[in-house]
Amino acid sequence: MRILTSTKYQFSRARKSLIIFYGILIGVSIAISILNNAFSPGEAGSSNSIEMSSVIFIFVTGLNSFKSEFNFALANGVSRKTLFISSLLNLFSIATLMTFIDLIIGMIFSKISEYNSLFIGIYSGRYGTLKYTAENVLEGILWSVVIYTVVAVIGYLITTLYYRLNKGLKLTISIGVPVFVTIGIPYLDVVTKGKVSYNIYLFFAKALGIYNGASNPYMAVLSGLCAIAIIGGFTYLLIRRATIKE
Amino acid sequence: MSKIIVKDLSKNFGKVNALKNVSFEFEENKIYGLLGRNGAGKSTLLNIMTNKLFPTNGEVYVDGENVCENDKVLSKIYCMMEKNLYLDGIKVKEVFKWSKVFYPDFDVEYSLTLADKFGLKINKKVKELSTGYSSIFKIIIALSCNAPIILLDEPVLGLDANHRDLFYKELIANYSERPRTIVISTHLIEEVADIIEKVIIIKDGELIMNDSIENVLSRGYAISGVASKIDEFIENKQVIGVDTLGGLKTAYVVGSLDKSTVPNDLEISKLDLQKLFIQLTNA
């Protein structure tokens, strides 16, 4: 019962941001379509920016889903375990809602412009130029829900990790990770003649089911579920002993 | 039923022992005063009792169940903390609404009545409240939530005399209508002395007293008069403290009193809880 109550509270917090986000997204998309038709009549535009914007939004939502909720939960007699489960349910609910909203927006925009969803773009080998058949809509929904949830739980893990770390470790990670990505990996690439980048590409291509000409979204769903379980496990380890900070 | 058992509780923060193997019980439906000097371990104890902190050793049980990560037990306790745990952007009335969701017995109508009595504007954001009104806001939630156990950590912080008086009156009225276990952690000992039924004193993380107010105050007496006569009277008695003002002296004596031995010009009064506390907790 407390799980549902806590989920309801967290979802209510995200509702306002969702309304603002989609208001801006739809407004900007309509403006771009109008400008496109005005300045380049007859030319088709192409975009999958809706899903990319959604990915960024849900990542930020994940990042904003710990500290305030943790304090509020403890103030209202909710255990850390219940908070963790309800946070995952909340992020999953937001991912599902955003998937359906994105699908509807995509369907509408595909009527007025040359719109391709991110999903169809990635798995074009499976669906070709076909748009919105029952099969790819259902597979797209499943894929989107899982990928959005993965992105959200990554944000949730990062914010929880930062909450638990002391100042020194926070600083080390905040500097260390960008330095490793921007300098370390390119340096390792030079030393290994591109093997590092190639293996990173290989890992993601295989995880997404697009390696070597394959086009299998179910592989991405399976990988995503594994990622959610692993990231969720780490996050729970961080939350289970978290205490209120002064 | 809302009996709390604190068993062998210890809490270390690095090398600091905030609580040292503390054991005692909070009887149900009684009002407790949890007293101690700054840093004695009162807030640490309340935070462990409400699962906000984990003990280094020991457990806290409510109705036989460990409070640690236990939703069922935690829903029976409301703890008003000094720290604000609510979202900065949230409005007072929204917190009342959500408190009703988390504590189904929360009396929204009563909370609005109290807000009116205290002059708390419910459309204000929590972050915009002054220290005093922030305390009032949390007091209202504590009194309205109707949880069987209410823990109040420094409830009158920043409150003016009028609001403090109103709070004590409302607390008594609320308790009379719906008895429950209430623990008040405060430094204003004189103000709560007439409200609390039992007193728990913690000193440097150790329990040094857990008794009823009656028993505590009957442990001794205060005797006042001319300094020389007081000095003569308290000879060979266990004196826990002395106040001197000019040629007058008040001595606080522990032990029974044989009134026939008291000279006529000396005045006997009840042992003062605050004085006793100061004497007990002075290093």
Least confident of A45-54, A65-74, B28-37: A45-54
Among B2, B87, B91, B97, the strongest candidate for a mutation testing the A interface, having the largest count of A CBs within 10 A, is B87
Half-sphere exposure for A102 (CA within 13 Å, toward CB): 31
- Report ipTM for this prediction: 0.87
Write the CA distances from B264 to A61, B119, B176, B227, B230, integer angstroms: 77, 51, 42, 14, 12
Nearest to A243 among B54, B86, B102 (CB): B54
Residue B181 contacts residue B146 (beta carbons within 8 Å): no
Nearest to A77 among B47, B77, B86 (CB): B77
Does the beta carbon of B71 lie under 8 angstroms from any beta carbon of chain A? yes
CATH of the domain spanning B4-215: 3.40.50.300
Q: What is the pLDDT of residue B118?
A: 97
User: Residue A130 pLDDT > 70, yes or no?
Assistant: no
User: Residue B149 pLDDT > 80, yes or no?
Assistant: yes
User: Residue A45 pLDDT > 80, yes or no?
Assistant: no
Q: Could you please report the per-residue DSSP string of A158-194?
A: HHHHHHHS-HHHHHHHHHHHHHIIIIIHHHHHHHHTT
Residue B175 contacts residue B148 (beta carbons within 8 Å): no
The phi, psi pair for A117, rounded to 5°, reads: -75, 160
Q: What is the pLDDT of residue A41?
A: 66
Mean pLDDT of B60-76: 95
Report the length, in residues, of chain B. Answer: 283
Contact B102 A82 (CB under 8 A): no
Each residue's pLDDT tens digit, A92-105: 999 999 999 999 99
Cα–Cα distance, A231 to A159 (Å, whole number): 12
User: Residue A129 pLDDT > 80, yes or no?
Assistant: no
In the predicted model, what is the mean pLDDT of chain A? Answer: 91
Among A76, A164, A166, A239, the strongest candidate for a mutation testing the B interface, having the largest count of B CBs within 10 A, is A76
Q: What is the pLDDT of residue A189?
A: 93
Residue B41 has a CB neighbour count (10 Å cut-off) of: 25
**Chain B residues close to A78, C-beta within 8 Å:** 71, 74, 102
Among A3, A10, A15, A74, the strongest candidate for a mutation testing the B interface, having the largest count of B CBs within 10 A, is A74
Cα–Cα distance, B35 to A173 (Å, whole number): 43
Each residue's pLDDT tens digit, B9-63: 999 999 999 999 999 999 999 999 999 999 999 999 999 999 999 999 999 999 9
Higher pLDDT, B144 or A136: B144
In the predicted model, what is the mean pLDDT of chain B? Answer: 93
Q: What is the pLDDT of residue B283?
A: 60
Q: Give domain limits for chain B.
A: 4-215, 219-281
- pLDDT band at residue A245, thresholds of 50, 70 and 90? confident
- pLDDT band at residue A46, thresholds of 50, 70 and 90? low
**Which residue type is seen at A193?**
K
Q: What is the pLDDT of residue B22?
A: 96
Q: What is the pLDDT of residue A174?
A: 94
Nearest to A79 among B69, B76, B78 (CB): B69
Q: What is the pLDDT of residue B184?
A: 97
Mean pLDDT of B185-192: 90
Among all residues of chain A, which has the CA nearest to that of B80? A75
Q: What angle do CA B227, B231, B233 make, to 5 degrees?
A: 115
Each residue's pLDDT tens digit, A137-195: 999 999 999 999 999 999 999 999 999 999 999 999 999 999 999 999 999 999 999 99
**Chain A residues close to B76, C-beta within 8 Å:** 77
